[in-house]
Amino acid sequence: MEADRDDKPPPGLLEAGQKDIDTVFDRLERMLRPRPQPWPFHTPGVVECAWFANLAALRTFGLAIELERFPAVMNWFKAMRTHPVFVADAKRTAAFLKDLKHLTHERKRLFWSCYRADLTDGLWLKLMPAVRRLRRGNPAQGTGVSSASP
């Protein structure tokens, strides 16, 4: 899928993104290396669900995982890609992307419209009140969403 854009990403954006993701992969590699392989948490679960879509999207955004540098991360991702749950998710995503050009989803303001959140016009400062509410255990405060269950 590509965004419908007539501009180019800001200079250095992909390099900065790769540097950021490599920092994350370095930490993840150190955490995964001593754990059981290929399932470091013994069975696929919420951790794999949280990481799978992000790992699978890297190439789409021009980013990569270096096999030689991050072998445990690559082995874990490879195990996810062959697990039936993630195979089904990949098929569903591929079908969605195939039809995306015919759908009405927003495609003009995607990808680098905000650059990196830590560099944009104080975006982080705007998000901090919500982060603080989450840390206090009150995510609905100020959002117009009730935290009471129906």
Domain of residue 50 covers 13-110
Beta carbons within 10 angstroms of residue 86's beta carbon: 20
Residue 34 CA: distances (Å) to CA of 66, 119, 126, 132: 19, 35, 39, 34
Stronger pLDDT, 51 or 134, i.e. the higher one: 51
Residue 91: HSE in the Cβ half-sphere, 13 Å Cα cutoff: 7
Residue 76's closest CA among 97, 98, 50, 108?
A: 50
Round to whole Å and give the CA distance between 55 and 63: 10
Measured torsion, CA atoms of residues 110, 108, 106, 102, in degrees rounded to the nearest 10: -120
Could you tell me if 67 and 98 lie in one domain?
yes
Q: What is the pLDDT of residue 123?
A: 54
Q: How many domains does the chain have?
A: 2
pLDDT of residue 13: 81
Q: Which residue, 49, 58, 1, is CA-closest to 24?
A: 58
User: Which pLDDT belongs to residue 58?
Assistant: 87
Model pTM score: 0.62
pLDDT tens string 2-14: 566 677 777 888 8
Domain match, 38 and 99 both: yes
Q: Is the pLDDT of residue 66 over 90?
A: yes
Structural domain includes residue 1:
no
- Highest average pLDDT, of 7-16, 50-59, 77-86, comes from 77-86
120 shares its domain with 104 = no
Q: Which residue has the higher pLDDT, 126 or 141?
A: 126
